[in-house]
Structure 1
């Protein structure tokens, strides 16, 4: 081991006693994990994050969102049933001035407006097709999608099912074809006994 690490942190083979542990309050551990962005005034979270990009902060035995901890510490408690919305649209931001508790419906509507504004600024899709009226379709929220990419996805999906369709005739001749879920079973014959009895009565 390098001698500087040994000098700073001591021997790695010596187990620290419980009396040597130093308790640090959550707010003391909170500040070193923040990086200030001077242009947007965002407090970017530099520690661990979730898959969605939200900061994770451990308080006691619980892992909280860093944005919720920041709002609770600097502003106050979050009302029950509300969630934190980032006004700066930066999920890693923990600046309490950029956070606002809103309902889930309001948060979803704001996200849709953001996606809609981003969609209108794009001129080409990810595969390079232009966003022109002949090549786009819109959903009920007004977000644009590329028709060429949609056709490409449909063709790819059909190509995945072609091998299954080709092996169905071979499976039908198998002795265990009735037990195989890939074999198309013919519909059951419809019984006409009831209709005959009805006609005989009338």
Structure 2
């Protein structure tokens, strides 16, 4: 891992004010650093997290505490799921994704009235739509008996 850390160190610039280690190597189109080591390609923040002793369970992602996509400081990184990532994103006041600004589901139900839950993939699921879906599913199963 020392070789991997040394390879990462060659591509960073430390920003003392924020504590971020900014990746100065290649970036992908969404602003995340790209890193290759011994033929293995991954995002730079994931490589830094793993090289500095972080562990990931199956299906976990490496998330940023600092919201700087090109930061690779292991102190700013933590393991989490897609749902954790979406929850963090929705809780931030500066998030501006168009779907995040919607107040209704595609069927027109007001989220503030019927509520929603976060699905396993991190998307929002309208509680009223889910209730109607389950009702139709139960009636269909009952009709087949």
With normalisation by structure 1, the TM-score equals 0.45
Alignment of 1:34 with 2:12, yes or no, is yes
Unaligned 5+ segments in structure 1 are 1-23, 121-137, 142-202
Larger fraction in helix = 1
Deviation per CA, 1:32-86: give whole Å up to 9, x if none.
2110111110000000011111111101112111111111111232111110110
Deviation at 1:31, TM superposition (A): 0.8
Equivalent-residue separation in structure 1 for 2:87 and 2:11 (angstroms)? 31
Output the CA distance in 2 between the equivalents of 1:30 and 1:72: 11
Runs (5+) with no aligned partner, structure 2: 105-145
The corresponding residue for 1:60 is 38
The count of residues paired between Structure 1 and Structure 2 equals: 99
Q: List, as ranges, runs of 4+ consecutive aligned residues in structure 1 with deviation greater than 6 Å.
A: none
1:139 aligns with 2:102: yes
Larger Cα-atom Rg = 1
Q: Kindly indicate whether structure 1 or structure 2 has the higher relative contact order, using CA contacts under 8 Å at least 6 residues apart.
A: 2
Alpha-carbon distance between aligned partners in 2 of 1:84 and 1:119, rounded to the nearest angstrom: 19
* RMSD, aligned α-carbons: 2.1
Using structure 2 for the length normalisation, give the TM-score. 0.62
